[in-house]
Structure formats: C-alpha cells, structure tokens
Amino acid sequence: MPYLTRSGDVWELYLGTEGHELDPDNPENRFSSAWITGLETALEQIESAATGALVITATGKFFSNGLELAELSDPSGLDAYIDRVHGLYARMLTLPVATVAAINGHAFGAGAMLALCADHRVMRTERGFWSLPEVALGMPFPDGMASLLAERLPESTRTEAMTTSRRYGSDDAVAAGVVEEAVAVDDLLTHAREVAQARAGHAGANLAAVKRSMRRAVLADLAPTATR
C-alpha cells in the first residue's frame, strides 16, 4: 500500500508497502483498487497541507508495472476503473506542491504515465526501463492517457513509444525527453530531494492554479467519462 513520509519541506510518497522491499500482495506496484485508494489518501493529505514539495518513488524493482490485469478483466467495471486511474493523473498534475519522480526501477504502462505526471523526472542508471507496452499487448490507449502522453512527451518520442513499445533505459530516456536526468541509484533519492527542496517555496494555491491553467486540455480529457 502506498505510504507517505515527510522530512522538513519534502514529502516522500512510496509506491510500495512500508517495511517491505516487495509487497507480498502487490510486488509490482500495480494499480489495484486498494493501491489506488492508498495513493488517493496520500494525495489528499498533500493537497490539504499545500506546503513543501513531493518526491514520488517506490520500493522494490518496480516503480510501477501499470494497470491491474484483474481489474481489466471485468467489462462492467472497466470505465469506472479507468476513470479512477485518470483521476490520479489529474491530481498529480495539479498538486499545489512541486513534484519530482525518482524512478527507481521499471515503469511500464500506467506506471510510466504516472511518472510523466511529475513536474521533474529523475531515473536511475544501471537498471530499469520506462515503456508503454500497450500496442504489444493489443491494448488501446484511452483518450485521457493518449492526451497525457501528447502533453508530456515530444511528438517523435510519443510516436515511437506508443507504436513500438520500445523500452527506454535511463540514458535513452533522457535523450528522448521522457525524463530530465539519469542518476546513479545510490544518489537517486538524494538528488530528487535536492530538486524538490529547491522548488518547495512555490507551494500553495497559486501553484495549483498555474498547473491547472497550463494543463487545461489534458485535464479535460482526464475528466470522468460521465462529465465529458
């Protein structure tokens, strides 16, 4: 279950279970309903405080391996499930604090897109890939996810990533504009905290308003299906 800590001005949101390197129930940090609820609860706390800055990272070998396959197998609940995932993206995109993703391991599919919701992205070197495997799996991109990718990636990278399912290592991810920096794993969290700390002074309602204004188009596409 995702958990939240704070040291001074910097929040740290972990996509894993406290006290476990690998969550025995969700070792790949997939978007199960319970996992989404845990992440929603953490984001509510950050929204309520509206101070500091946020580092989002994970435990184990995965940042997140994306959607929960069991949730996708229920057609009757699929729209509501995708709406919840889109809702997480919208909240991340509009938090009243600066956000830094410290990508500690594999970030695939919906997990790769969650990383893109951060204002700044740092990816570990040596191991781990960022990838959108949907086309290889025969899965479409919902409009909200496609809009998010259009907002956050250069066109050439988006075309390659969405239509080939390429796996980007850290250096390739920097070159492609997926992440801003590649950092050795031993320095990953330290550097992410430094970036977050440098941006903490801008937290508050105005920062959230600026983000909503910047990202108006993608937020409209991420809105719940029933309200569009």
For the chain, the helix, strand and coil percentages under 3-state DSSP, each to the nearest 5:
50, 20, 30
**Predicted model pTM:** 0.96
- pLDDT for position 227: 67
Question: Residue 216 in 3-state DSSP?
Answer: helix
CA-based nearest residue to 142, from 42, 228, 43: 228
CATH class name, domain 3-227: alpha beta
Domain boundaries defined on the chain: 3-227
Give mean pLDDT, residues 87-106. 98
Assess whether pLDDT exceeds 80 at residue 176. Answer: yes
Can you list the positions of beta strands (E) in 95-209? 98-103, 106-108, 120-124, 130-131, 167-168, 181-183
Asked if pLDDT for residue 171 goes beyond 80, the answer is yes
